[in-house]
Amino acid sequence: MPDRPASCYRYFDTPAYTRRKYIRGVPGSKITKFDYGNPKGDFPVLVRLVPLEAGQIRHNALEAARVIVTKTMSVALGDTGYYLKVRTYPHQVLRENKMMAFAGADRLQDGMRRSFGKPCGTAARLDFLQPIIDLRVPAGKRKEARDALSLACAKMPMPCRVVDVE
């Protein structure tokens, strides 16, 4: 049993698998837009979400974190009162070996060891303290930005921290 619910794809021990030119059937990424809010605004305060260990974040976790941060910040500051940038892109193609999933399948199929699998999604590989999300807000709104990014921490498969940069 994994120690956290999202630990199935969190760690990696295989080489990068990113050449989409040679991979057929890669599903599209759920996260399609990486900049939100007002990119031309004057926002002096920068708050950043960083991981506390190296690992992978699936594209649907990145989208869930982006949704919760944009929703929280739009309610607090309006649609143009902040600037959000998702700094990671899910390049890594994840593979899954399909198994039988009906009742009694455990007696029929054990699966092949070290099987290659078919593409099932994408993920972003991150290093220790590599920025995931940058959030720029006006002066005096640091607490709202930290609260929004702390909600995004719960969507991540690895332990994360909210860091003040400026």
**Are 36 and 70 a contacting pair, CB within 8 Å?**
yes
* Residue 92 dihedral angles phi and psi, to the nearest 5°: -70, 125
Residues in a beta bridge with 83: 37, 136
Query: What percent of the chain is predicted at pLDDT more than 90?
Result: 62
Three-state SS string over 6-33 comes to CCCCCCCCCCCCCCCCCCCCCCCCCCCC
Burial 49-81 (b: 16+ CB within 10 A, else e): bbbeeebbbbbbbbbbbbebbbebbbebbeeeb
- For the chain, domains (ranges, CATH) are 35-94+116-164 (3.90.1170.10)
> What's the whole-number mean pLDDT along residues 30-51?
93
pLDDT at 1 over 70: no
| Overall average pLDDT of the 116-126 stretch | 90
Contact by Cβ (8 Å): 21, 121: no
Q: Identify the burial level of 137 via C-beta atoms within 10 angstroms of its C-beta, where 0-12 means exposed, 13-18 middle and 19 or more buried.
A: buried
More confident residue, 112 or 144: 144
Enter the tokens of residue 146.
Answer: 């930290």
| 128-150 tens-digit pLDDT | 999 999 999 999 999 999 999 99
pTM of the model: 0.84
pLDDT of residue 166: 67
**Residue 126: count of CB within 10 angstroms of its CB:** 21
Give the C-alpha distances (Å, rounded to integers) separating 40 from 43, 62, 163, 164: 9, 24, 23, 21
